[in-house]
Amino acid sequence: MLFQVEMDVKVPLGFDTEKFEALKLAEKMRFQELQRAGIWRHIWRVVGQYANVSIFDVASNAELHDILTGLPLYPFMDVRVTALCRHPSSIHDDDR
């Protein structure tokens, strides 16, 4: 199942810089692990924001929920999820 996930990161003012840097590193490591596994298919930055738009390929809604809530930066995120399906007019046989 493919999902578009929009993540906006909002760090509270005054949050400890060292703790936040450690969380960002942990987030990057988890992202790269999920990317290598083929689960976190695509990620794009949103220009001018601390945000991204990503495509996930998971077996279920519950799997996506568990992945998102397990992300190190999840407590600082506003997340929007949209389920996707192939468009019948696409000229591609894959999800490029």
Q: Edge to edge, what strands does the sheet with 77-84 contain?
A: 40-45, 51-57, 2-9, 77-84
Spans of all domains in the chain: 2-84
pLDDT score recorded for residue 51:
97
Locate 36 and state its tokens. Answer: 């290598």
Name the CATH superfamily housing domain 2-84: Dimeric alpha+beta barrel (3.30.70.1060)
- Residue pLDDT, tens place only, 33-78: 999 999 999 999 999 999 999 999 999 999 999 999 999 999 999 9
Q: Quote the mean pLDDT of the chain.
A: 95
Q: How confident is the model at residue 80 (pLDDT cuts 50, 70, 90)?
A: very high
Q: What is the reported pLDDT for 95?
A: 66
pLDDT at site 43: 96
Task: Give the whole-angstrom CA distance, residue 64 versus residue 68.
Answer: 6
